[in-house]
Structure 1
Amino acid sequence: MFANYLIGLREGLEAGLVVCILVAYLVRTGNRSKLPPIWLGVGIAVALSLSVGAVLQFGSAQLTFEAQEMLGGTLSIIAVALVTWMVFWMRRTARHLKAELHGKLDQALAIGTGALVATAFLAVGREGLETALFVWSAVQATDDGSRPLVGAVLGLATAVVLGWLFYRGALRINLAKFFTWTGALLVVVAAGVLAYGVHDLQEASILPGLDNRLFDISATIPPDSWYGTLLKGIFNFQPNPSVLQATFWALYLAPVLTLFLRPDRPDRPDRPDRTTATSATSPTAQAD
């Protein structure tokens, strides 16, 4: 449940900050009348994300066992690739995100209403589709009833509240540190989802070695115990992984986490101070 809460919070807050920047910029530049197209684009993006999640959940139930495992394994690997790209993209571009969105919004204002809808849809839709795919993969990996979905919904709800507080200027946090630590946790979660995807592909007989176990500590950490459930819910922990699962887990986690937590290179003197873009000021204040 915690892992899915983290996914919902992280992805939801990214989308929420984008919306805050777009809305604040329109309000500050005297274009409040252009807000409805922005909300229309956001609404379409949310509806599309929910539709994709529903198709994945209910459509996969109609497949054979082998097809379900193949689909689950393939989508889990795709979800890991998307989330990995997303956390590195946000780490690299967060300092320039506001200026980039303002530029796109100026172009959309010059073109017309349709461009405003498209700008909001593309900005939010990417996060929404990533969230739908990764949450679905994580829910399948934990196999813990409705609790993972509840966790994701709670995370999204928390992100909405935080986004509103940012916009109102009532909340100030260090966004750079927030995205760094949540990104690192997401990398750990993604490693577990990747191992689950490998397991699914093994069950679909696409990858070998399903019965070649690296270890089996099911007697020490029973999967149905409270601590076994907790470890599985947070880290997708499996007490009897195959050698191939553990290999993929380690080969992903070690280099990706190392690269992600590697300190940035110092900015050159002729570049703007990046702390201005990653400071904890509200989007409303930054839109001046």
Structure 2
Amino acid sequence: MFFVPFLIMLREGLEATLIVVIITSYLKQSGQGLWLKYVWLGVISALVLCLLLGIGIEKTTGEFPQQQQELFEAIVAVVAVVMLTYMVFWMQKASVSISRDIRAAVDNALTRSHAPARALMLMVFLAVAREGLESVFFLMAAFTQDVGVMAPIGAVSGVVCAVLIGFALHFAGSRLPLKAFFRWTSLLILLVAAGLSAGAIRAFHEAGVWNYLQATAFNSSDILSTHSLFGTLLESLFGYQSMPSQSEVLVYLLYLLPALTWFLWRAKQTSSSYAQ
């Protein structure tokens, strides 16, 4: 499982990086570079918080009995689904005017606050911490499904790529087709979240919380087994199961169909507004 952690951390890292790049570039361009140190203090504080939270969760979960671990994994998966969904739809809305909105927020923090340094640092801290906390809960859900080294390597690689893209945007003035990038990765992430939601209901069953609709919905093991290369890839990326229960299929569809419909409708509305 390399690609999914890579994709999520690239997305999360790039969102956070874009916010920081916009703020730092605006401060430099407007001759307010003296405030840059407070931006970096906000970034570092947010990263430390997320790191401590991840370590704390990792240390405590090992002490749970098996049934409680399954319940914890189910809850983490639900939180990850909620945060991934929020991330997709927030970015779909914010990408239209993210630069203008962030610059306005910086102006507000520096001109209207009694303590502009603290206000600016808090604004950056909250922006980066939001992305970081989303990442923590997603990675916890992903790592419980794959105990190998590829998932952490994918996550670190995603962050590194996001930072490198941020540096390219900041120093070289590079222009990337970010709108298309966020659109296609959003669709992939919705599929990932649908797989996580099905995995959550499976974990709730293993924890003894959910025992309904457990009959096998279909058996595709003869066509595409999870032991095959492609089946393993689909399982890692999108939570594919060759013999899912009825509740897994139901939850998968109940999440994916409305989410995709809403995403595509909003994309169409945004395109129509641009055309006008």
Compute the TM-score of the two structures, normalised by the length of structure 2: 0.91
Deviation at 1:144, TM superposition (A): 4.5
Do the aligned residues in 2 keep the contact of 1:184 with 1:261 (CA within 8 Å)?
Answer: no
Q: Does 1:187 align with 2:190?
A: yes
Poorly superposed stretches of 4+, deviation over 4 Å: none
**1:50-65 to 2 correspondence within 5 Å?**
50-65=51-66
Q: Secondary structure at the match of 1:53?
A: helix
Identity level (%)? 35
What CA distance in whole angstroms lies between the structure 2 residues aligned with 1:244 and 1:224?
A: 22
**1:140-159 to 2 correspondence within 5 Å?**
140-141=144-145, 143-159=146-162
Deviation at 1:17, TM superposition (A): 0.1
| Cα deviations by residue, 1:55-96 (Å, 9 ceiling, x for unpaired) | 222221111111111111112112111211121111112122
Corresponding residue for residue 140 of structure 2: 136
Deviation at 1:261, TM superposition (A): 2.0
What CA distance in whole angstroms lies between the structure 2 residues aligned with 1:65 and 1:24?
A: 49
Do the aligned residues in 1 keep the contact of 2:214 with 2:247 (CA within 8 Å)?
Answer: no
The one of 207, 223, 226 equivalent to 1:223 is 226
**1:76-225 to 2 correspondence within 5 Å?**
76-110=77-111, 111-141=115-145, 143-209=146-212, 211-218=214-221, 220-225=223-228
Deviation at 1:34, TM superposition (A): 0.9
Q: Secondary structure at the match of 2:97?
A: helix
Corresponding residue for residue 246 of structure 1: 249
Do the aligned residues in 2 keep the contact of 1:73 with 1:197 (CA within 8 Å)?
Answer: yes
The one of 264, 268, 286 equivalent to 2:269 is 264
The residue type equivalent to 2:53 in the other structure is V
Do the aligned residues in 2 keep the contact of 1:139 with 1:148 (CA within 8 Å)?
Answer: yes
CA separation of 1:217 and 1:144: change in aligned 2, threshold 3 A: farther
Give unmatched runs, 5+ long, in structure 1.
Answer: 274-288
| Cα deviations by residue, 1:123-151 (Å, 9 ceiling, x for unpaired) | 1110110011112212223x251211211
What CA distance in whole angstroms lies between the structure 1 residues aligned with 2:155 and 2:119?
A: 31
Which region of structure 1 is more displaced relative to structure 2, 211-220 or 126-135? 211-220
The residue type equivalent to 1:73 in the other structure is A
What CA distance in whole angstroms lies between the structure 1 residues aligned with 2:56 and 2:243?
A: 31
The residue type equivalent to 2:49 in the other structure is L
Deviation at 1:268, TM superposition (A): 7.8
What CA distance in whole angstroms lies between the structure 1 residues aligned with 2:63 and 2:154?
A: 26
The residue type equivalent to 1:183 in the other structure is S
Corresponding residue for residue 5 of structure 1: 6
Which region of structure 1 is more displaced relative to structure 2, 122-131 or 98-107? 98-107
Compute the TM-score of the two structures, normalised by the length of structure 1: 0.88
What CA distance in whole angstroms lies between the structure 1 residues aligned with 2:165 and 2:108?
A: 28
Deviation at 1:15, TM superposition (A): 0.4
What CA distance in whole angstroms lies between the structure 2 residues aligned with 1:162 and 1:132?
A: 21
Give unmatched runs, 5+ long, in structure 2.
Answer: none
Which region of structure 1 is more displaced relative to structure 2, 198-207 or 253-262? 253-262
Do the aligned residues in 2 keep the contact of 1:5 with 1:153 (CA within 8 Å)?
Answer: yes
Q: Secondary structure at the match of 1:267?
A: helix
Do the aligned residues in 2 keep the contact of 1:209 with 1:242 (CA within 8 Å)?
Answer: no
The alignment of Structure 1 onto Structure 2 pairs a total of residues equal to: 269
Deviation at 1:192, TM superposition (A): 0.6
Deviation at 1:222, TM superposition (A): 4.0
What CA distance in whole angstroms lies between the structure 2 residues aligned with 1:76 and 1:108?
A: 35
| Cα deviations by residue, 1:15-71 (Å, 9 ceiling, x for unpaired) | 000000010011111111111110010011111112222222222111111111111
